[in-house]
Structure 1
Amino acid sequence: MTDSWTQAVRTRLGLGRLLPLGGAADGAWITERAAAAALRAAAAEVPGAVTGVLRVALDDPESAGPPHFPAPPSALPVGPLRVSGEVEVLVGEVLPMAVGRLRDALLAAADGMGLEVAAADLRVAGLLDAAPAPVTPAEPPARAEATGAAAEAAQAVPGVAYLTGVLGRPVQSAADHVRIEIAVSAGHRALDVARAVRAAVGGELPVVVLVTAADVA
C-alpha cells in the first residue's frame, strides 16, 4: 500500500500545475507537464537557441478568477499565464534575435494549445559551442479503458487520441459535475478538442475536461 501511495504522489507531482485552457466558461485544464512538453517541442524547432526547464504559472495571481465549472484538484484559477525558463544560445548568434525567435515560437505554441499567455520570460544561462543532441520526448500518459455513454462520446470526438486516468478513473462522476481526462492528437488544438468533448458528452451535470497530453502521435 505504501509503495502504491508513494508512486501515486510522485505521479501527481510530476504533472505540475493544472493550467486553465481558454477562459472561465470553457471548463478545461491542461497539466503543466503536457503543456511544457508541447512548448519544448516547438522550441526545439528554433535554430540557435536551446531551452532548459520551462515553467508555466499565472501572470498575475491577484487578478485571476474562479472558473464557471468545478475545477480539478489543485487547478490554478483562470487568468493569463506566464512562461518562464532558461535558454542557452549558440556562439555566433545575436542574443536578442535568438531569444526573440524562441519567445515567438513559445507564444505561438501556447496559442496553438489554447493557453492564454501574457508573456514569456527567458533568461540566457550560457553559450553553446554546438547544438546538443535532441532530447527524447517524455512518454505521454498511458491509455485508460473506460465504458459508458460519456466515455464513448468523448472517445468519438475528432482529436481525442484516447482517454487517460492520471487523476483516477478517466471519467469521474461527482455530485455536481463530470470530469473527463483526455490525450489530444497531434494537429489538433487542445482547447477546441476539450470544448468539443464537453459538447459531445452533454448531460444534466456540467462537464469539465482535463488534457493530460497534447500532440500525441
Structure 2
Amino acid sequence: MDRLTQAVRQQLGLGRLLPLGGAADGAWITEHAAVGALRRAASAALPGARLGTVRLGLADPATAVPAAVPAPPSALPAGPLRLTADFAATVDEPLPAVAGRLRAALWSAGAETLGLDLDAVDLRATALLDGPEAVGSTEAMTAPERQADAESGAEAGTESGAEAGTESGAEAGTESGAEAGTEDDGSAARVVRAVPGVARLAPVLGGPAHAVRTRDRTDEEPGRHTQVQIAVTEGRCALDVTAAVREAVAVATADGAPGPVTVAVVVTAVDPVGRAAR
C-alpha cells in the first residue's frame, strides 16, 4: 500500500500534461517540468523577484482540439494556454515595470524555449520584499509553491483518474512480455538517446520501466503507436527536440508495422546544462 500511495502521489505531483505546439505535433510536457523551467528562467532574468503560485491551463477549453496521435492518459487537448502566476518583488523598481519584465521572461521561456502555445501571461503582485537578501535562493523559497502545485496536480488527477486508469491498463495489456521487459534497451530507445537535445530517458508515467512503449493497435484501427518519455536539455527548444524524436522513432518502428505508425512524446523533465545523464 505504501508503494501504491507513493506512486499515486508521484503521478499527481506531475500536474497536467500540457500540449507542446499544436494538434499535429504529438507532444506534451508535464506541468511540473514546465513550471520548473519557467522558474529558473524568471530567477535568471529578475533576481529581485520571486515567483509564487504558477498555473498553466487551456485558455479556452471550448476551442481545444484532439491531438493527431493517440494522447497519453490525462493529456490536455491542443489549444492556446494561459499562464497565471503570483510574484513578490523588492521596492527597488516599480511593480508595473517588474511585472512587464517578468511577463516577457516567462513568455520567452514558455513560447520560445519550451514551445508552449501561450495565449496570455497573467501576473499578480502579492508581496513586497525588503531587499535582495529577502529573495533567497529559488530552491529555499519554493516549498509552499511545490505544495500548491501538488494540490493542482491532485485536482487534475482526480478529474481524469478514471480515464487514466482505463487507458493505461488497456495499453499495458496489449504489450507482449518481451516488449515490457526489454523495450528501453531496444532500437527505438537507442534512437531516442541519440537525438540532440535529449538529456536522458525519463519515464514517470505508467511506471519507471517504460520510457519507450510500442504497441500494435487493434484490428479495427490497425497501426503501431509508440509513446516516449524524455528529459530535454535546458536551452534546447523542447518542441523541436520532440519533433526530432518523433521522426526518428517513426523510422525505427516502421518495419513490419500493421498500419500507420504514430509517435507521442512526453517531456517529463528539463535538465539544467551540466546535469549528468542517468
* Structure 1 partner of 2:98: 98
**Matching of residue 78 in structure 1 with residue 81 in structure 2:** no
What is the match of residue 237 of structure 2? 189
User: Does the Cα contact within 8 Å between 1:48 and 1:93 map onto a contact in 2?
Assistant: no
Describe the superposition over 1:71-115 as per-residue Cα deviations: whole angstroms up to 9, x where unpaired. Answer: 111001100001111011211321111101000000000011111
Aligned twin of 1:162: 200
Q: How far, CA to CA, are the matches of 2:8 and 2:67 in structure 1?
A: 26
1:211 is aligned with what amino acid?
V
Runs (5+) with no aligned partner, structure 1: 139-144
Higher strand share: 1
* Distance in 2 between residues matched to 1:130 and 1:3, nearest whole Å: 43
- Aligned counterpart, 2:150: none
Deviation at 1:123, TM superposition (A): 0.8
| CA drift at 1:122 | 0.8
Residue 59 of structure 1 aligns with which residue? 59
Distance in 1 of aligned mates of 2:124 and 2:265: 33
> Gapped runs of 5+ residues in structure 2?
143-182, 218-224, 274-278
TM-score by length of structure 1 reads 0.92
Using the alignment, how far apart are the partners of 1:38 and 1:14 within structure 2? 16
Deviation at 1:187, TM superposition (A): 2.3
Greater Cα radius of gyration, structure 1 or 2: 2
Hey, what's the Cα distance between the residues in 2 that align with 1:73 and 1:148? Answer: 24
In angstroms, what is the RMSD of aligned CA positions?
A: 1.6
- Report the Cα distance in structure 2 between the residues aligned to 1:126 and 1:174, rounded to whole angstroms: 50
Q: Which residue of 2 aligns with 1:209?
A: 265
Higher normalized helix content (fraction of residues):
2
The 1-side partners of 2:74 and 2:12 are apart by 11
SS of residue in 2 equivalent to 1:25: helix
TM-score (norm 2): 0.72
Alpha-carbon distance, 1:47 to partner: 4.1
SS in 2 for 1:162: strand
